Amino acid sequence: MRTRQAHLLALASALLLTACVAPPPPAVVTQVQLVPPQIPPGLLRCRDQPEPPAWPYSEADAAEYVLDLAEAGDDCRRRLGEVRGLIETP
């Protein structure tokens, strides 16, 4: 009977002692590591600027060149917008 009382007393003492333990200190940041965003290689290169038509050229050739030039600019602006979306913080 005494051993059972001794065990209960030891258990009660152990439980009471755990309530007195100080909480661990808060985590302290000791190092900050910057990780660059991952940019897909396909977004880092714009479509090439088209070559102007050779002389003599027709109005249709000039119009096609202007359209190709505008498409190349649109492609570059679209890619730049995608890169901007990857690196800007919300």
Q: Is residue 9 part of a domain?
A: no
Q: Is residue 86 part of a domain?
A: yes
pLDDT digits (tens, 9 = 90+) for 30-58: 899 988 889 999 999 999 999 999 999 99
Calpha distance 64→60 (Å, rounded): 6
Q: Is residue 20 part of a domain?
A: no
Q: What is the reported pLDDT for 20? A: 65
Contact 79, 43 (CB under 8 A): yes
Threshold 0.75, pTM exceeds? no
Total number of domains constituting the chain: 1
End-to-end CA distance of the chain: 68
Q: What is the reported pLDDT for 4? A: 77
Residue-number span of the structural domain to which 67 is assigned = 40-90
Q: What is the mean pLDDT of the chain?
A: 87
Q: What is the CA radius of gyration of the chain?
A: 36
